[in-house]
Amino acid sequence: MKKLHSFYPTLRLSWAMAGLLLGSAMAAAFPVNMMMSLAGNAPVLLSWGLLASYVLPFLCVAGFILLLQRTAPATAILPVKKNRSPEVFLCCFVFTPLLAFLIEPLTAWLPMPGFMKELFAQLSRNDFPTFLMVVIAAPFCEEWLCRGVIARGLLRHSTPARAIVWSAFIFAIIHGNPWQAVPAFIIGLLLGYVYWKTRSLWPCIFIHFINNGVSFLVVSLFPEAAAEDAASQSLLGHWYWPVFAAAAIAAPGVGAVFYKVLNRK
């Protein structure tokens, strides 16, 4: 584990890890598809298969890092002061749903094909393994790689702005589709900035947890939302734009408070 903490990848290595992750995910999709054909009326088996196929690629990336570190001396870990104050987590809790709500129209204009709707429906099953994958595994695995490894390495090799943008872009790419990539990039910018200012993964994991947890809760309560291109608009109906306007007014103020908390000395 110490070798993982002493790994500071360059941008080229960061892209190599992203490629390995995507390649491993495609390889893991084959047994899941076989399980889908065999599962039949046992959707829980499919959900456990999806969870396994999601986690395994990140284990492959961790193994790749350990393999690289076996032939290279451990890099000195930079001492940094971490900010894990309660105010940071409170701002994360308030600002994250506002941001996620406001960026939803960016993807609503792009019609989602039928096979993608079917995939999102499978990823929105209201069962325990899907909850583990979406709400628990995704925040830990993706934040470990995109912020704990990639952003941390890029912060050592380049400027903070470049580190934040490139880590957010890679974060968007590994989602593999534009309906997740666009909001992932925007939220990735927030996550990268929060990591730069706090130098702690826990606020980033918490933001990711809130974002995915709210989505999972909405889909669990309203299953029809999983098949909609603009879930919030379909659920709120004629209340959507008044709520959107209120969120747009509140977000800058909450964001300003969040900025002051992150930059407080």
What integer pLDDT is reported at residue 179 of this predicted model? 84
Is the confidence at residue 1, as pLDDT, over 70? Answer: no
Contacts 24+ apart (CB under 8 A), 55-59: 55/133, 55/137, 55/141, 56/24, 56/28, 57/20, 57/21, 57/22, 57/24, 57/25, 57/28, 58/21, 58/141, 58/144, 58/145
Q: Please report, rounded to a whole number, the percentage of residues in the chain having pLDDT higher than 70.
A: 85
pLDDT at position 115 is 66
Confidence of residue 98 (pLDDT cuts 50, 70, 90): very high
Query: pTM for the complete prediction?
Result: 0.91
- Report helix, strand or coil for 100: helix
For residue 56, pLDDT over 90 is answered with: yes
Domain that holds residue 158: 2-262
pLDDT in tens, 172-208: 999 988 888 999 999 999 999 999 999 999 999 999 9
215: pLDDT strictly greater than 80: yes
Residue 135 in this model has a pLDDT that exceeds 90: yes
Q: Are 218 and 235 in contact (CB under 8 A)?
A: yes
Both structure tokens of 68: 């690289």
Q: How many structural domains are present in the chain?
A: 1
Q: Span 85-98, mean pLDDT?
A: 96
Helix (H, G, I), strand (E, B) or coil at 249: helix
Does 40 have pLDDT greater than 60? no
